[in-house]
Amino acid sequence: MTLPHPTTDQISLPIVLAVLGDPTRLSIVRYLARKEGVPMNCSKFLDLASKTNLSYHLAKLREAGVTRSEAVGTSRLITLRRDDLDKRFPGLLDSVIAAADGDKDLPAVGTAEVEVSA
Amino acid sequence: MTLPHPTTDQISLPIVLAVLGDPTRLSIVRYLARKEGVPMNCSKFLDLASKTNLSYHLAKLREAGVTRSEAVGTSRLITLRRDDLDKRFPGLLDSVIAAADGDKDLPAVGTAEVEVSA
DNA sequence: CCAATTGTTCAATAACTTTTGAACTAAGGA
DNA sequence: TCCTTAGTTCAAAAGTTATTGAACAATTGG
């Protein structure tokens, strides 16, 4: 955790909702939820937006307290702050993700289930 | 139902989240939820914003499918579209309202529990 | 009919958000 | 050391949303 993150009780409902109310960011969150536990780096999301623009959206998610970004070498490992969100807003994340999974208008990311390990 | 409303399946998740991501509108929704079943007219919310601005926010809520506005005489009766929202996004509204109720930074409306009946 | 009440519309402005490209930093490998 | 990879920062431009006041429409009560 190198970059500034809000503490759990600093996470604000309207800000979280506004941040999730953007299709690009909602897609990122949905993908992080599907791959929970596996930290993602930004390049996973390059099909959603340009590198610069992703940097912007990922900063918004981090500043809202939705994700955690850890600097590791030249990468950022991004994870969902599920525990914190569940503590602060019980049930919210689950219902948002469930709703997002059923929304075919959201841009998909990582739908090709190819995992080249080692 | 006089004014244009989206049908249940036209309700979009990012739009609902974005619309709820505004403190004024979130307060309106929270209040409607507390008084569920009792249709409200716009004047109930005049402590949140100016008449003109309320008209704008209430239109946003209606267009997103969050509320229903029915013209009755010179008033608009506003209700939460709970059934439709629950059908479309199960659990979402409940968790948002529960979270909003626990948020002391949201502008309060109708906290004085005075009910002068008849 | 007249006036009051309720809310809308319109145009302007202010305030934010998103997107972009170019320039940059920092780490890691050859 | 030099090059590549991964991502940031900055300033500008584009787009969107929120707020305002003045003018309007429709209903209702006197």
Residue B31 has pLDDT above 60, yes or no: yes
List of chain B residues whose C-beta atoms are within 8 Å of the C-beta of residue A13: 26, 96, 99-100, 103, 106
Give pLDDT, residue B103. 87
- In this structure, is residue B112 part of a structural domain? no
Q: Does B13 touch chain A (CB under 8 A)?
A: yes
Tokens of A41: 């780096």
Helix segments in A37-112, DSSP class H: 51-64, 82-88, 92-101
Model pTM greater than 0.85? yes
Q: Among A12, A16, A17, A28, which would you mutate to test the B interface (most chain B Cβ atoms within 10 Å of its Cβ)?
A: A17
Closest CA to B29 of B64, B71, B73: B64
Q: Is A4 on the interface with B (CB under 8 A)?
A: no
Residues B22, B14, B29, B93, CA torsion sign: negative
Cα–Cα distances (Å) from A14 to A72, A89, B19, B74, in that order, read 31, 12, 10, 32
Residues B109 and B117: beta-carbon distance below 8 Å? no
Question: Is B118 among the domain residues?
Answer: no
Is the pLDDT assigned to residue A116 strictly greater than 90?
no
Flag whether pLDDT at B113 surpasses 60.
no
Instruction: Answer yes or no: is A114 within a domain.
Output: no
CA angle, B48 then B94 then A28, to 5°: 95
Is the CB of residue A108 less than 8 Å from the CB of residue A48? no
Tell me what the mean pLDDT of segment B11-22 comes to: 98
CB atoms within 10 A of CB B106: 18
Q: Is residue A36 part of a domain?
A: yes
The torsion of the CA quartet B14, A99, A14, B79, rounded to 10 degrees, works out to 90
Checking if the pLDDT of A117 tops 80, the result is no
Number of domains in chain A: 1
d(CA A10, nearest CA chain B) in Å: 11
Residue A109 is predicted with a pLDDT of 79
Give B103 or A63, the one with higher predicted confidence.
A63
Q: Check residues A117 and B43 and name the one with the higher pLDDT.
A: B43
Tell me the pLDDT band of B109, cut-offs 50, 70 and 90: confident
Whether A104 is in a domain gets the answer no
Mean of the pLDDT values across residues B32-47?
A: 92
Nearest partner of A70 among A48, A34, A41, A37, judged by Cα: A41
If one compares A115 and A55, the residue with the highest pLDDT of the two is A55
Q: Report pLDDT for A111.
A: 61
Strands B75-80 and A75-80: unpaired
Instruction: Give the phi and the psi of residue A19 in degrees, each rounded to 5.
Output: -65, -40
Q: pLDDT per residue over A74-110, tens digit each?
A: 999 999 999 999 999 999 999 999 999 988 888 887 7
A107 belongs to a structural domain:
no
CATH code for the domain of B34: 1.10.10.10
- Spatial separation of the C-alpha atoms in residues A97 and A99, rounded to whole Å: 5
Does residue A118 lie in a domain region? no
Encode pLDDT of A17-70 as tens digits: 999 999 999 999 999 999 998 889 999 999 999 999 999 999 999 999 999 999
What is the distance between the alpha carbons of residues B77 and A48, in angstroms, rounded to a whole number?
Answer: 41
In a domain, B56, yes or no: yes
pLDDT score at B8: 97
Q: Which of A21, A22, A95 sits opposite B92 (nearest CB)?
A: A95
Query: Minimal Cα–Cα distance from A19 to chain B, Å?
Result: 8
C-alpha distance across the termini of chain B, in Å:
27
Q: Which domain holds residue B21?
A: 8-101
Note the CA–C1' distance, B51 to C4, in angstroms: 16
pLDDT at A106: 87
Query: Which residues are A80's β-sheet partners?
Result: A67
* pLDDT score of A108: 83
The pLDDT-based confidence of B108 (bands split at 50, 70, 90) is confident
User: What's the average model confidence in pLDDT over B34-53?
Assistant: 93
CB atoms within 10 A of CB B41: 14
